[in-house]
Structure 1
Amino acid sequence: MNRVRALAALLLINGLLAVLLLTLFRIQVVSSRDWSARRIDLVAASVAQRRQGVELNDGRGVFTDRYGRRLTGFDDWALAVFPEAAKADEEQLSRLRSLIGAGKEQWDAFIRLAKLPAYWPGGDGTPGKTPAPLPEKTALALRALNVPGVRVVKAGRRYEPSIGARHWIGYVSEDPGRAAAEYGLAVSGDGPRLPAGAYRIGGAGLERTFDRFIRSAAPSMLYRFVDGRGEPYPGLGLRQSQPERSSAPLAVRLTMDLDIQRLAEAALDAYRVRRGAVVVLDVRTSDILAMASRPDYSPYDVNPADGRWRNQAVSAAIPGSVFKTVVAAAALEAEAAEPDEIFGCSGSLGRYGFHCWKPHGHGILTFREGFAQSCNLVFAEAMRRLTTGQLERMAAQLGIGRRVGWSEDGWMQLDGEDAGQLFGSGTDKDDDGVRVQTAIGQRDVRMTPLQGAQLAAMIARGGSALEARSATEVRFAGGRLLRRFEPHALAGPHGRGGISPAVARTLREWMRDVVLEGTGQALQRARWPLAGKSGTAVEPSARTADGRAGEQLEHHWFIGYGPADRPRYAVAVLAADVKAGSGHRAVPLFGRVMDGLAAYEENRAH
């Protein structure tokens, strides 16, 4: 009996050893490049653990503007320094320091800090991953020195500060959690450590929404092999990896016009907008030509908590009187009020604490004049003639309370676009006090600058609704088309978006009145005849630590188009968090953007 048991135990042990050997054979030979459901490349992971170096290029595809001008992905001469440089000849190092303008103490401090290969960054001499560009003449002279442990290379830089559009384009970050969830990559504790850059993924903006098109499996690197102590293997020298990208889609062509983007950002900075946005659309197509946002941020130094990276152009804010355009459209469409119908404004509704912005009122005026003068009491009365459902349907047809960016099968080109709203959760939508506040774009109403520009574009082109495109196509490295994003109509709640041509025509006349005799008269000095609608929204007062009311802030808006007689551009501007009583910031900001567009058109014509 004991011999039988011993034989059975021996067979079991041999079976287990056979299974173990087969598993090892599968891991090391059969599936070494495609291990487990996560498809882990064990060979690449093993090699990566023995490599130290600097990244030459992140391998990601690039964004270009509508004319093919590159917006991301630039190459510069740079100085890559490996720890072996500490042992270089002092005479060579002295000549090197002279060429890069570094003192001996600065260079020595850099070498002490650079425990791993790093780029010479200039400035304070702190080792960096992002290379400092070198003039070509300096680069060639450094290359001729042939200092051990130092290499002059062409290094990639993802972003160029002068390009701007940082909120629209977004940023890239190392995010193992999202990379694992979206691409099935192994994370720490759940598989081998993957090559550098494997967890890099679009963190926000177009970098995030187009990540599946432009993501790189691995960057190209200049590296050396090291042993377990981190010492370089003798005789192997420096090597360069270049991932295969022969068929990868590399270029996403945006609707952006880089010149218009720059003038929009310059306008925000000229008026010192601390939080706000400018959106410029092509009236004919609703393609986004510019989308500028403030406050600014660096895509190389992102603090997710401070929100500076958030695109204010697609973030909802209280719109104030620009929302009266929606109420006017609803009233005209429902024939609840006639353009020449007479209204009266005494300055106060007499209830709910509801007042007109003009203390003693506008007196007697027509619906049309009420729009030009932005009379609160006229629009409170117009709202009372509408049902809540009528306003909600019109808002949806005009793109308020829904996302208006280009989308297909649940995928959206724009990242983080707010839908906005008319009423908050739990609000009694049929309460009279709620409705009159809603009529003037206060209380719960929220909309984005992009929605404001869309509203102006719809009216300017006769009422038809189109989704706002950010990109038109994606092409492979060799130029072959991968995907084209055709224009999409913006559907309404009952299939038809936008408004009737007759209502659009009326609103075009009224928006021109705003400039000729209403709240936008300062725009009469513009280079083009303009049309639009102003808005001032009161931000609910914040409280100080001891419970007192804080400083009253306002959001200043203007939406419109130009030239008024032949609309080419639709523009929305928002200057948020402006101190109350400091003058309307959005009207001159809108004028500056439009004057810039007029100059741009004149330059193109010559």
Structure 2
Amino acid sequence: MDMVSIKNQVWEDRPSLYRVYLHYPVKACFLSGSQPIWMKQITFGEECMSLRKAPSRKKRFFYLGCCFTVLFALLILRLFQIQIIDGKKYAKMALPQQTVTVDVEEKRGDITDRNGIPFTQADEVQELLIFPRSIGFDDSAYEAIEKLTGKPKAYFNHKDQTYYQEIITDPDSARIRPIQKGQYPGVLYQERSLRYGDHSLARHVIGYLRKSDGVPMSGMEKVYESYLHPGSVKQVQAVADAKDHIIPGLGYQITDPMESCQVRLTLDYDIQQILENVLDQYPDRHHSGLVVDARTGDILALASRPQFKQYDPECVMNHNEEPSFLAMPFEQYPLGSVFKVVVAAAALESDKYTENTRFTCTGGIQVGSRFFSCHTSSGGLGGISLREALAYSCNDTFIRIAMDLGGEDIVKMAEKFGLGKALDIELPNAAGLLMSRQEYTGPGIANLAIGQGETMVTPLQIADLMTTLANGGQRKQLRLVAGLTAPDGSSLKNVQKTAKSSRKDRTMGRVISEKTAGTLSEWMGDVTEYGTAEKARDPQIGGIAGKTGTPQVSGDPYSKEYGWFAGYFPKKDPRYVIVVLSKEEGGADQVAVPLFHDIAKNIRIHAGQ
């Protein structure tokens, strides 16, 4: 077969196209210049294909380069979008899957006094959060840690421990500054508030958290747990590998917890401090005290000794005392002669007796098979008035009155004063006991008259009684919680627990007439002027109206008698009610009365009276 060579022919004035008609099969060789560029078998009658002149190799590389350039540019734009524009979004999505989260501080709301002074901010501490796996072999970091905390490198070699939280014992700003700037990967600096300390106040009211897991065990910490601790904690998040090993150099993220509510108490921080300072002046003693605002019924201070360390509840206290979680103002005890105020109120309200009603004290009285003594050392008090009988706490007189009135009227009067029932102050407190008809029948009526036998009360109830007398016979609802404060500073008024406490008028009704209350106040003033509490006499504070009690006790291996003194001052227009209970030998005269006087004197100085 012949070969036909066609070279640079132009057909129909189209220089880049070649077309040929052949009437027999041939091989057509198309040439560009002197080089063949394409050969094709052509049969008879077939039109030769239209062909575009083939591009050069340089142009092919150029086109290919352009394609790669465009693709690379698109890739760069996509990476820019992921890293810069949407970087935070993707980092946030990936963080939970690639981080180790460490809870470093349980954030709780504060418990404050009536003026917002916190009882739960003992001190500020500086500390280091140390992640040994991120530090690696950086000895300079461990050197700085040891200088600040006193802990050597070997201390941080526990393989199972992800991080360490160590308090800085030797704060050196020159060493702390590089840590704050991130010079040592795996070492973080933070400041944290200690909730409790050695000088924390009102511990029996505040309560404490269990050391092992932070669970509230008592006090306001437990009652208001849902408000003080909404469930969030301060966290440190570090990027980790598949085995939860922290990856050095990728930084940390600190997440602050949500803000909590604050519980605002009626306590006054300064008066609480005064009360506790006075109690501490009587070391190795078991005693308690509370102070109430006589005009409103707000509890201003409450304390008990011995107490406990909130940050280490089981730790032995000073003077080798065992810790005590017992808040004496909330527990029930024999009352003794303070109960004679109730008997006197019942006597005056009966209209059978006046302050001038005369009695004869012969040194004791026989009731059934029992003899009840009274001032036996002097052979009795002789002829006295009812007013004098209260001042000298004459058993003989008040037993005779009780036998005349009957136990039922006296118990009813005690119930009107609030005895025999727990008080609604948000914290658990004992109800106390009042004698039943069977118990005060026969010789039991004498025990009822002088606050012995089965009669049991709490110091809180006696504070309630004295507040009623200070308000002219009108009973006020005692209050310990003033309210809750939201994180934004607003008051939470619709909280069920504080609904009653939020009422401006907390008067609970009249217990005795204003005349009877005034008479009793005068008689109780005599107790400190010339009676059983003469040691509390102090004209500078406007006089004190009160009553002593020295109940005989059984079952206490350390004491056979307790001492009470309860009252208020100034005698006219009272401002403060104080109740003191001592479980020490010596009765009211030796401990309770001096304690009361010292508390009152220091409050007067504080108040500038």
User: Does the alignment reach a TM-score above 0.5?
Assistant: yes
2:318 is aligned with 1:297? no
The 5 A counterparts of 1:202-213 are 202-213=216-227
Q: Indicate which of 100, 115, 139 corresponds to 1:67.
A: 115
Match of 1:311 in 2: 327
The 5 A counterparts of 1:103-502 are 104=152, 108-109=154-155, 115-121=161-167, 139-140=176-177, 142-144=179-181, 146-173=183-210, 201-224=215-238, 231-232=245-246, 237-245=251-259, 250-272=261-283, 274-303=285-314, 308-350=324-366, 351-356=369-374, 358-359=376-377, 360-406=379-425, 413=426, 415-423=427-435, 428-483=438-493, 485-487=502-504, 489=506, 491=508, 496-502=509-515
Match of 1:597 in 2: 603
Q: TM-score, normalised by structure 1?
A: 0.74
Q: CA deviation at 1:218?
A: 2.1
Q: CA deviation at 1:357?
A: 5.1
User: Using a 3 Å threshold, how does the CA distance of structure 1 residues 375 and 98 change in structure 2: closer, same or farther?
Assistant: same
Give the alignment's Cα RMSD to 1 decimal: 3.3
Match of 2:31 in 1: none
Match of 1:557 in 2: 564
Match of 1:27 in 2: none
Q: In the alignment, is the contact (CA less than 8 A) between 1:318 and 1:442 conserved in 2?
A: yes
Q: In the alignment, is the contact (CA less than 8 A) between 2:292 and 2:576 conserved in 1?
A: yes
Q: In the alignment, is the contact (CA less than 8 A) between 1:77 and 1:136 conserved in 2?
A: no
User: Using a 3 Å threshold, how does the CA distance of structure 1 residues 145 and 522 change in structure 2: closer, same or farther?
Assistant: same
Q: CA deviation at 1:235?
A: 6.9
Match of 1:575 in 2: 582
Q: Secondary structure at the match of 1:364?
A: strand
Task: Give % identity.
Answer: 29
User: Using a 3 Å threshold, how does the CA distance of structure 1 residues 272 and 83 change in structure 2: closer, same or farther?
Assistant: same
Q: TM-score, normalised by structure 2?
A: 0.74
Q: CA deviation at 1:275?
A: 2.4
Q: Which amino acid aligns with 1:153?
A: Q
Q: Which amino acid aligns with 1:99?
A: L
CA displacement, residues 208-267 of structure 1 (integer Å, 9 cap, x when unaligned): 22233323222122244778976446776533233444xx5x122221110000000111
Q: Which amino acid aligns with 1:599?
A: I
User: Structure 1: how far apart are the matches of 2:242 and 2:380?
Assistant: 82
Q: CA deviation at 1:432?
A: 2.3
Q: CA deviation at 1:54?
A: 4.0
User: Structure 1: how far apart are the matches of 2:560 and 2:162?
Assistant: 50
Match of 1:99 in 2: 148
Q: Secondary structure at the match of 1:338?
A: coil
Q: CA deviation at 1:402?
A: 1.4
Q: CA deviation at 1:585?
A: 0.3
User: Using a 3 Å threshold, how does the CA distance of structure 1 residues 498 and 82 change in structure 2: closer, same or farther?
Assistant: farther
Q: Indicate which of 130, 134, 158 corresponds to 1:81.
A: 130
Q: Which amino acid aligns with 1:383?
A: A
Q: Which amino acid aligns with 2:598?
A: R
Q: Which has the larger radius of gyration?
A: 2
User: Using a 3 Å threshold, how does the CA distance of structure 1 residues 588 and 174 change in structure 2: closer, same or farther?
Assistant: closer
Match of 1:31 in 2: none
Q: CA deviation at 1:69?
A: 1.3
User: Structure 1: how far apart are the matches of 2:473 and 2:443?
Assistant: 31
User: Using a 3 Å threshold, how does the CA distance of structure 1 residues 339 and 507 change in structure 2: closer, same or farther?
Assistant: same
Q: Which amino acid aligns with 1:289?
A: L
User: Using a 3 Å threshold, how does the CA distance of structure 1 residues 113 and 585 change in structure 2: closer, same or farther?
Assistant: farther
Out of 263-272 and 273-282, give the one that drifted further. Answer: 273-282
Out of 73-82 and 468-477, give the one that drifted further. Answer: 73-82
Q: CA deviation at 1:460?
A: 1.5
User: Structure 2: how far apart are the matches of 1:380 and 1:231?
Assistant: 80
User: Structure 1: how far apart are the matches of 2:491 and 2:178?
Assistant: 42
Q: In the alignment, is the contact (CA less than 8 A) between 1:201 and 1:215 conserved in 2?
A: no
Q: In the alignment, is the contact (CA less than 8 A) between 2:526 and 2:545 conserved in 1?
A: yes
Q: In the alignment, is the contact (CA less than 8 A) between 1:78 and 1:139 conserved in 2?
A: no
User: Using a 3 Å threshold, how does the CA distance of structure 1 residues 473 and 296 change in structure 2: closer, same or farther?
Assistant: same
Aligned residue pairs: how many? Answer: 498
Q: In the alignment, is the contact (CA less than 8 A) between 1:96 and 1:145 conserved in 2?
A: no
Match of 2:37 in 1: none
User: Using a 3 Å threshold, how does the CA distance of structure 1 residues 153 and 133 change in structure 2: closer, same or farther?
Assistant: farther
Q: CA deviation at 1:598?
A: 0.8
2:66 is aligned with 1:53? no
User: Using a 3 Å threshold, how does the CA distance of structure 1 residues 68 and 227 change in structure 2: closer, same or farther?
Assistant: same
Structure 1 segments unaligned to the other structure (5+ residues): 1-46, 123-131, 176-196, 407-412, 543-549
Q: Which amino acid aligns with 2:596?
A: F
User: Structure 1: how far apart are the matches of 2:370 and 2:98?
Assistant: 69
CA displacement, residues 15-62 of structure 1 (integer Å, 9 cap, x when unaligned): xxxxxxxxxxxxxxxxxxxxxxxxxxxxxxxx7998552423x23222
